[in-house]
Structure 1
Amino acid sequence: MKPVRTAADIPRPLRRTPLARLLEFHNCGRPLLTYGKAELLICMCMDNRKQLRLPDNFAYILRTGGGNIRFSEFKISYIVAIGGVRHIVLIGHDNCGMVNLASKRRAFVSGLVKNAGWTRKRALEHFLAYAPLFEIDDEIDFVLAEARRLNHKYPGVKVLPMFYRMSDKKLYLIKPV
């Protein structure tokens, strides 16, 4: 992974794009500008430990478990078609709760029983029906595969995978651009 500490660390093909500005705002402390229209779609995990430093109106943000957008494609299409967005970033992160969901089965079921008032049977059926759809094996492999898939699906849109490290709260480029 490539750290981006200054604007000079941003690869040339990304410079002067909303993807570069995301890195500059979040990692480099670039002053926040005023935007009248979103330039970027950020797809990232719903994890509450991750907050990005962004100006208002700069980006649409789609947050889902594990950053899994497989069931959000209509929303993405809407943002591209109606919002006019031509750049998408997929952000994975370390210590993601959607990795190895099977190991969280007992806690998940117990939590729904205790917090939502569900029966154990209903909670277990819910887990068994949905966990396989949302579980990811590896955060980096997942975000790379999703970026490849979306670049193929939306050839006129630049889709870039990034990684958020919890330890320093910075965004990283996963592979050379």
Structure 2
Amino acid sequence: MSYFVPVNTVNDIFPEYQNTPIGRLLEYHNLDRPHDDYEHADILIGMCMDNRKRLHIPENFAYVIRTGGGNLRFSEFRVSYSIAIGGVKAIALLGHDNCGMVNLVSKQEKFINGLVEKAGWNREAAEAHFMHFAPMFEIGNEVDFVLSEAKRLRLRYPKILVAPLFYMLKENRLYLMNENA
């Protein structure tokens, strides 16, 4: 059984997400649903800062937090604000394939050299910076991370609908995630 469930029709959307902001996100992005007008957002989308992803959603539809790997652990105040003040009723977590926050240790030299050559850092400061922050931002693998982050957020915000989704870069499509796979 695959983790990824394609959304090619409205009927492919899991029943718990139909007629919710999660379902509308899938309809806008994958099914070219005509854009509705929104005065405020009902959904928070947590997604990677990767420049290869672009969502097809209407203006004012969503709060969007883009962080390395879609990791919301260090954006929790912003998540809470979007719920408490912004009125968000759902959170969509978007993992994606080929994420740069996977296996950060393999990128250590390139990272350090890049800060030295491109940003003017001294080598010791660049090494210390990597060693301090890389463990905080490493996500392991994309699938496990988005599933575990969804579980964490459900415990933290029990009245909020939280959906783990996956963005396939080559296809520019969102997939539902089968959490029982």
TM range (shorter): over 0.9
Q: Does 2:137 align with 1:117? A: no
In structure 1, C-alpha distance between the alignment counterparts of 2:48 and 2:16, rounded to whole Å? 26
Q: Secondary structure at the match of 1:123?
A: helix
* Higher mean C-alpha displacement, 151-160 vs 4-13: 4-13
In structure 2, C-alpha distance between the alignment counterparts of 1:176 and 1:109, rounded to whole Å? 37
Partner in structure 2 of residue 56 of structure 1: 59
Q: RMSD of the alignment, in Å? A: 1.0
How high is the TM-score relative to the length of structure 1?
Answer: 0.98
- Structure 2: segments with no counterpart, 5+ residues: none
Partner in structure 2 of residue 68 of structure 1: 71
Partner in structure 1 of residue 33 of structure 2: 30
- Cα deviation, 1:113-146, whole Å, max 9, x if unaligned, reads 1111100110010000000000111101000000
Q: Secondary structure at the match of 2:78?
A: helix
Q: Does 2:96 align with 1:97? A: no
- Cα deviation, 1:36-94, whole Å, max 9, x if unaligned, reads 11010000000000000000000000000001111111110000000010100100000
User: Percentage identity across aligned positions?
Assistant: 55
After TM superposition, where is structure 1 displaced by more than 4 Å over at least 4 residues in a row?
Answer: none
In structure 2, C-alpha distance between the alignment counterparts of 1:11 and 1:101, rounded to whole Å? 34
How high is the TM-score relative to the length of structure 2?
Answer: 0.96
Partner in structure 1 of residue 20 of structure 2: 17
* Higher mean C-alpha displacement, 28-37 vs 58-67: 28-37
Partner in structure 2 of residue 151 of structure 1: 154
Partner in structure 1 of residue 165 of structure 2: 162
Q: Secondary structure at the match of 1:148?
A: helix
Pairwise CA distance, 1:176: 5.9
- Structure 1: segments with no counterpart, 5+ residues: none
Q: Secondary structure at the match of 2:60?
A: coil
In structure 2, C-alpha distance between the alignment counterparts of 1:108 and 1:155, rounded to whole Å? 38
Partner in structure 2 of residue 133 of structure 1: 136
Q: Secondary structure at the match of 1:41?
A: strand
Pairwise CA distance, 1:175: 1.0
In structure 1, C-alpha distance between the alignment counterparts of 2:122 and 2:179, rounded to whole Å? 49
- Correspondent of 1:85 among 73, 78, 88: 88
Q: Secondary structure at the match of 2:155?
A: helix
Question: For residue 64 of structure 2, what is the amino acid of its counterpart?
Answer: I
In structure 2, C-alpha distance between the alignment counterparts of 1:134 and 1:140, rounded to whole Å? 15
